[in-house]
Structure 1
Amino acid sequence: MESFNQYLDTVISFRKELHRHPEVSGKEVATANRIVSFLKQFPPDEMITAIGGTGIIAAYNGEKPGKTVLFRCELDALPIEEINNFEHRSVHKAVSHKCGHDGHMAILCGLAIKLHLKRPDTGAVFLLFQPSEEDGSGAQKVLSDTKFKSINPDYVFALHNLPAYPKNQIVVKNNTFTCAVNSIIIKLKGITAHAAEPEKGINPAQAIAAILSAYNKYSQPDSKKPKYCIITPVHIRMGKKAYGVSAGAGEIHFTVRSDSSVEMKNIAGYLEEKARSIADEYKLGISIKWVQTFEANENNSTAVDLVRVAANSNCLALLEKKTPFSWGEDFGLFTQKYKGAMFGIGIGKEKPALHNPDYDFEDEILQTGISIFHHISKQITDADKFNYRT
């Protein structure tokens, strides 16, 4: 039987090719085509394309019926100008892979090679290349696609690379792994007036200040305490650069983070009520819109145990994280619907942070990600050999 090791350089080269040609959420057409071309070299038993937009599912089936597992990665990049000068830097201005999705895709492609060389004994393994994770819309698009209805996996898994953690360290956590994240846009409508006679208009400045103050007081950023909640102002606009005019309209945007999707609903209710109350106090019209919603990623304890077993079997350091990551991940929609887990792999303590313009994925963890995913798949589809109850 062929050894996977001879293909590792192929996976690394492909990761760099993906890095050179990034595409933002919803525009991942060329990226998807590259993935399809790569997979055709290691043909799955079935390939579904254009799922949830540009998504792809590759299925590797066992000889007998059994449990099924889905592994998910992300196709999209970010609207960030890359400042790296290495050979595989982005060829597209102001677009780059600064979250490591190129590496996540390469890991799934490496897993595809392993599954092609040796099919599962039973059941099936599905590889999902998901679009539009960064804007929070991709998971819902995939799950709502009629082409996904036939998949119905017993387990779902995803990973994320982690700067500031030791290289190849596996980071796990039961229950909430990543926070619920929601963004609110508040638009205020008053009356424009001459700046010399502001009393003849209704300026939104005081209301904006009151909303900022109220939300700041409500924020509870200590993840070790109850009612954990981070409320961050990200954009404010009011009036125009016209010094003779008292502004008659404005808007303010916040991102909101909680370690519970249920609690997020309570927070959202409070924030809306408070904003409307302040708008009424200052006699302003108001409209509120929520965007880029990420459900909390709730890890199933049995699924996390499968990760732990895979890490220990591969002699990898394991960190049990005490508190959730504060960033959002739309994989939370999958873990709401199916038993599953997301885990992290450290890429090095000195690596630039995610979304930084000088970030790059660490190729040395590709083998680790592939091995962990593959071991998880074997525990589920070859469960009798592993004597592990799933």
Structure 2
Amino acid sequence: MPVLNSIAEMEAEMKGWRRHLHAHPELGLDCQATAAFVAARLREFGVDEIHEGVGRTGVVALIRGRAGGRTLGLRADMDALPMTETTGAPHASTVPGRMHACGHDGHTTMLLGAAKYLAQTRNFAGTVALVFQPGEETGEGGPAMLADGLMERFGITEIHALHTSPKQDLGTFLTRPGPFMAAVSDFDIRIFGHGGHASRPEEARDPVAAALAIGNALMTILARNTAANDQLVVSITQVQAGSTHNVIPAEAYIGGTIRSYRPEVQEMALARLRAICEGVAAAMDVTVEIGRQIDLAPTVNDPEATRFALSVAREVAGEGRTIGDHPPLMGSEDFGAMLAARPGAMLFLGQGKGPGVHETGFDFNDAAAPYGASYFARLVERALPLP
């Protein structure tokens, strides 16, 4: 059956949770109100333990089954994005400049639905650790929870997660074993020269000219430093300089990201970026500073855990609606840090086709929540079977 009957009966309740979360988005590690909402629901469900403040505002809840056994982790992210929503939905964001544009409100809701079901039924042997994580969009939350001893403290032996997909039909699941989502390193390049009048460029040391040269040269990393079968993306997403037409500014800025699946490719690209910046700076008599804020590991699904997760997804969605060999995605997820610490898998769940994630018109489809909650619940019951 595609959705567990008792979870199907929660659909209206889950919709209420999700729309509340959608209307009250929080950013980064500062998810205090979201965490409090989650903890309140978990107390209502009667889980065995609730631990707050893990990784600053993360929540971990434990539910023990009818017999002893190992601990399986299920993770959902809680944070939103610094964007202005344009959906016009009745439950749209009430916080200017913030919105749930990546479905984390839906991820949290699906794990809450599974939590309610598992706390009521407890048809498993062992313990489930429900991990509600802040700071996925900033890349801080997963590492912060790990630094607080997430795996060791709660004895987690395996961990799984879901992410919504607005590019797939409702109720379909997709993933692949091995590298599934890319590593990402962002870069901040600040170029310092000497400003002056636009009519006398010879008296200036032009950071804009250097920025243009650096930007063009960075594109050669992909074209001339990478093998054809190595997947690499170098994207410049910000260029900032100057304030008027007739002034050569003193500073310029370039920002962007590098994405790949293999550590050696990522390290090569970052080394080439530094060499290009320093070489152009020396040639054009400017100085350069290179900064980084995010370094996320690739999301690498454990092959055995992925095969098992796909078997559970087939129970929920059916054979024809489960894709186990999807091409790797160039998007990134800080769940990769958790998969580097413990085996597990991330799957994507189709919510029906519509505006993409990180678009101002995106909204999670509440009809997808029963599928995700059923998947989480079945995963626990199949992974931790009663004797």
Bin the TM-score by the shorter chain: over 0.9
Q: Identify which of 142, 146, 155 aligns with 2:145.
A: 142
Following superposition of structure 1 onto structure 2, how do residues 118-157 of structure 1 map, counting pairs within 5 Å? 118-146=121-149, 149-157=152-160
User: Is residue 328 of structure 1 aligned with residue 342 of structure 2?
Assistant: no
Cα gap change, 1:64/1:25 in structure 2, threshold over 3 Å: closer, same or farther?
same
- Alignment partners' CA distance in 2, 1:258 and 1:4: 38
SS, match of residue 128 in structure 2: strand
Question: In the alignment, which residue of structure 2 is the partner of 1:91?
Answer: 94
Shifted more, 287-296 versus 135-144: the winner is 287-296
User: Is residue 340 of structure 1 aligned with residue 344 of structure 2?
Assistant: yes
Question: In the alignment, which residue of structure 2 is the partner of 1:387?
Answer: none
- Alignment partners' CA distance in 2, 1:250 and 1:184: 14
SS, match of residue 351 in structure 2: strand
Q: Are the counterparts in 1 of residues 124 and 380 from structure 2 also a CA contact under 8 Å?
A: no
Question: In the alignment, which residue of structure 1 is the partner of 2:106?
Answer: 103
TM-score under structure 1 length normalisation: 0.92
Q: What is the CA distance between 1:140 and its match in structure 2?
A: 0.8
Q: What is the CA distance between 1:196 and its match in structure 2?
A: 2.9
Question: In the alignment, which residue of structure 2 is the partner of 1:7?
Answer: 10
Q: Are the counterparts in 1 of residues 8 and 370 from structure 2 also a CA contact under 8 Å?
A: no
Q: What is the CA distance between 1:167 and its match in structure 2?
A: 1.2
- Alignment partners' CA distance in 2, 1:224 and 1:211: 22
Question: In the alignment, which residue of structure 1 is the partner of 2:266?
Answer: 264
Cα gap change, 1:309/1:248 in structure 2, threshold over 3 Å: closer, same or farther?
same
**Count of residue pairs the alignment pairs up:** 380
SS, match of residue 269 in structure 1: helix
- Alignment partners' CA distance in 2, 1:301 and 1:151: 24
Question: In the alignment, which residue of structure 2 is the partner of 1:80?
Answer: 83
Q: What is the CA distance between 1:151 and its match in structure 2?
A: 1.7
Shifted more, 223-232 versus 306-315: the winner is 223-232
SS, match of residue 91 in structure 1: coil
- Alignment partners' CA distance in 2, 1:213 and 1:5: 53
- Alignment partners' CA distance in 2, 1:180 and 1:313: 31
SS, match of residue 86 in structure 1: coil
Question: What letter corresponds to residue 211 of structure 2 in structure 1?
Answer: I
User: Is residue 365 of structure 1 aligned with residue 385 of structure 2?
Assistant: no
SS, match of residue 314 in structure 1: helix
User: Is residue 295 of structure 1 aligned with residue 297 of structure 2?
Assistant: yes
Considering only aligned residues, what root-mean-square deviation do their CA atoms show, in Å?
Answer: 2.1
SS, match of residue 24 in structure 1: coil
Question: In the alignment, which residue of structure 2 is the partner of 1:178?
Answer: 181
Shifted more, 102-111 versus 61-70: the winner is 61-70
SS, match of residue 154 in structure 1: strand
User: Is residue 16 of structure 1 aligned with residue 47 of structure 2?
Assistant: no
- Alignment partners' CA distance in 1, 2:263 and 2:117: 36
Question: What letter corresponds to residue 203 of structure 1 in structure 2?
Answer: D
Q: What is the CA distance between 1:42 and its match in structure 2?
A: 0.4
Shifted more, 224-233 versus 2-11: the winner is 2-11
- Alignment partners' CA distance in 1, 2:293 and 2:202: 34
Cα gap change, 1:304/1:241 in structure 2, threshold over 3 Å: closer, same or farther?
same
Shifted more, 167-176 versus 313-322: the winner is 313-322
Question: In the alignment, which residue of structure 2 is the partner of 1:211?
Answer: 214
Following superposition of structure 1 onto structure 2, how do residues 234-245 of structure 1 map, counting pairs within 5 Å? 234-241=237-244, 243=246, 245=247
User: Is residue 62 of structure 1 aligned with residue 72 of structure 2?
Assistant: no
Shifted more, 331-340 versus 76-85: the winner is 76-85
Structure 2 gaps, min length 5: none
Residue-by-residue CA offset, 1:249-271 (whole Å, 9 max, x unaligned) = 21211111112234212211121
Question: What letter corresponds to residue 338 of structure 1 in structure 2?
Answer: R
Identity of aligned residues (%): 27
Cα gap change, 1:169/1:5 in structure 2, threshold over 3 Å: closer, same or farther?
closer
- Alignment partners' CA distance in 2, 1:34 and 1:382: 31
Residue-by-residue CA offset, 1:180-230 (whole Å, 9 max, x unaligned) = 11110111111223333222221122221221111122236xx99422111
User: Is residue 39 of structure 1 aligned with residue 42 of structure 2?
Assistant: yes
Shifted more, 330-339 versus 113-122: the winner is 113-122
Q: What is the CA distance between 1:63 and its match in structure 2?
A: 4.0
Q: Are the counterparts in 1 of residues 162 and 347 from structure 2 also a CA contact under 8 Å?
A: yes
SS, match of residue 189 in structure 2: strand
Shifted more, 84-93 versus 150-159: the winner is 84-93
SS, match of residue 84 in structure 1: coil
Q: Are the counterparts in 2 of residues 303 and 339 from structure 1 also a CA contact under 8 Å?
A: yes
Question: What letter corresponds to residue 255 of structure 1 in structure 2?
Answer: T
Q: Identify which of 112, 118, 134 aligns with 1:115.
A: 118
Cα gap change, 1:315/1:138 in structure 2, threshold over 3 Å: closer, same or farther?
closer
Q: What is the CA distance between 1:144 and its match in structure 2?
A: 0.6
TM-score under structure 2 length normalisation: 0.93
Shifted more, 102-111 versus 81-90: the winner is 81-90
Q: Are the counterparts in 2 of residues 67 and 380 from structure 1 also a CA contact under 8 Å?
A: no
SS, match of residue 341 in structure 1: strand
